[in-house]
Amino acid sequence: MCIRDSWCVECIRMERNTFVEPQIQALFEKMQPLQADVTQNDKTDQALMSRYDIIGPPAILFFDRNGQELRSRRLVGFYNADDFAKHLEAVLGAN
């Protein structure tokens, strides 16, 4: 799950520079990526962020096949494609 929004500079950087890379797209095919846009910061957005103890975007959370968060694999902030790919490979190897 990726929490992102249009005013988040780091979110935009991830979308433009990291998520578009072929190596990342190939790894995403082995996962089920979801994004939640919390731009409105309404009650629903606040409840989602509260539920997962997120102060603000970007936060990238990973879950196992049973829906349990892999809290030690959580990322916050910008990651370039190489570092993000290494992280995704580690997450895939943990499942």
Q: What is the DSSP string of the chain?
A: -EEE-TT-HHHHHIIIIITTSHHHHHHHTTS---EEE-TT--HHHHHHHHHTT--SS-EE--B-TTS-B-GGG-EES---HHHHHHHHHHHHHH-
Model pLDDT, residue 37: 83
Model pLDDT, residue 4: 46
* Arithmetic mean of pLDDT over the chain: 89
Could you tell me the pLDDT band of residue 6, with boundaries at 50, 70 and 90?
Answer: low
For the residues 87-94, what does the mean pLDDT come to?
Answer: 91
Q: Give the global pTM.
A: 0.84
Could you tell me the pLDDT band of residue 83, with boundaries at 50, 70 and 90?
Answer: very high
